[in-house]
Amino acid sequence: MSEEKLIEAHINEVLNGGSKRIALDFIAFLRANAITPDQHESGDGWSLVHKGESIGFIIVSQSEFPGPWTLWFNSCEFGSGESVSDDLKEAAWNHASICGNFFSNGKDCGCGDQPGFTRVIFGKEFQNRCHSPLMFHNPDAETMERAKKLMLMLTQNMAA
């Protein structure tokens, strides 16, 4: 099996039903848009590389969290968002990633910043956020379509 298809094989082993279909569709979308899944040493994670830069991360795991699969963005540099629909802004805002340590009533960010990162996403400020500004945990098909649009916006802004 080629290294390039390893993520698809892993998805086929770990996921089933709608989650599997959505994840495989997303990997096809990534490849069609010159975003390469580069396997992390953990075996369950892949960095999403575009033009030599990691722009996101996927974990496909049998553990409860971050499983069964989760997509993180490494950046929220989408530009001003002036021409972005309210629906897409809401999707990004609804997936602003809170540091996992805060979920467990921790007082400090588990990502090394205290009390946590401040993120501005489409003009809205978020406190106590993770180093990865957006997180899509086991997204449904509709949510994944919005995540794809956001991913494309990110890659287009890299080219600008």
The whole-number pLDDT of residue 1 equals 46
Q: How many domains does the chain have?
A: 1
Contacts of residue 94, Cβ cutoff 8 Å, sequence gap at least 6: none
pTM of the model: 0.85
What CA–CA distance (Å, rounded) separates 15 from 13?
A: 6
Domain extent for 46:
3-159
Pick the closest to residue 88 from 75, 78, 74 (CA basis): 78
Q: What is the DSSP letter of 52?
A: T
Point out which residues pair with 96 in neighbouring strands: 134
The whole-number pLDDT of residue 102 equals 55
160 residues of the chain, pLDDT tens digit each: 444 458 999 999 999 999 999 999 999 999 999 999 998 876 678 999 999 999 999 989 877 666 789 999 988 787 777 889 999 999 999 998 876 655 555 555 555 555 667 778 898 887 766 677 899 999 999 999 999 999 999 898 876 6
Contact 1, 9 (CB under 8 A): yes
The secondary element (H helix, E strand) that includes residue 30 is helix 17-32
